[in-house]
Structures are given as C-alpha cells and as structure tokens.
Amino acid sequence: MPKMTPGDTRQFKEGKGKSMVLALGIWAKRQGNNIHIHLSGAEKFHVTVTNDPESERYHRTLFRNLRKVLIAHEKWPFGDEGKETEKKQ
C-alpha cells in the first residue's frame, strides 16, 4: 500500500469519479477544561472539534466518531473523557 501523508489525495473508485480520499492528520489535545480534536492535511486546512457544548466548534457526532477512531488506534490519552458525546442530549 502506498504511503500517505496528510494532504495526499487519491481517487475514490465509487461515485462516478466525483469522490476522493483526503489523508488527514488527527490528534487530540486538552485546551483548558475541554478536549479539542485537531484535523490537519490539505494546504491551509486545519480545523478542530471540541466536546464543549458551549463552543461554536462543538459537534457531538463528529467528536464522538473521531474519538472512537483515536481510541481504536490507541491515540486517545484521556481515558473516559469525551464519553458524554456517545449519548444524545
């Protein structure tokens, strides 16, 4: 399998040529009392999502899903923190 680095793209075989894969770097970092999951890759592309429901960067399902990916790959250093995003409010 060819090595991919953040920002690399590949043609996705589905979707009649209108889909692609974008490689992103993903990591979690504590910022104050909250956790931010960072996504970085394509040129001038860096975004965060947080578990703080008061933040404009809060997105429960995206945070939950990204947290699960980090946990599955043993890259989640915060134990059960963020688990509250697994249930609807």
Helix/strand/coil (H/E/C) assignment for every residue in the chain = CCCCCCCCEEECCCCCCCCEEECCEEEEEEECCEEEEEEECCCCCEEEEECCCCCCCECHHHHHHHHHHHHHCCCCCCCCCCHHHHCCC
Q: How confident is the model at residue 89 (pLDDT cuts 50, 70, 90)?
A: low
With CA atoms as reference, report the closest residue to 5 among 25, 26, 34: 25
Q: pTM of this prediction?
A: 0.87
Tell me: the pLDDT tens digits for 16-74? 778 888 899 999 999 999 999 999 997 888 999 999 999 999 999 999 999 999 999 99
At 63 the pLDDT is 97
The domain segmentation of the chain, as residue ranges, is 25-86
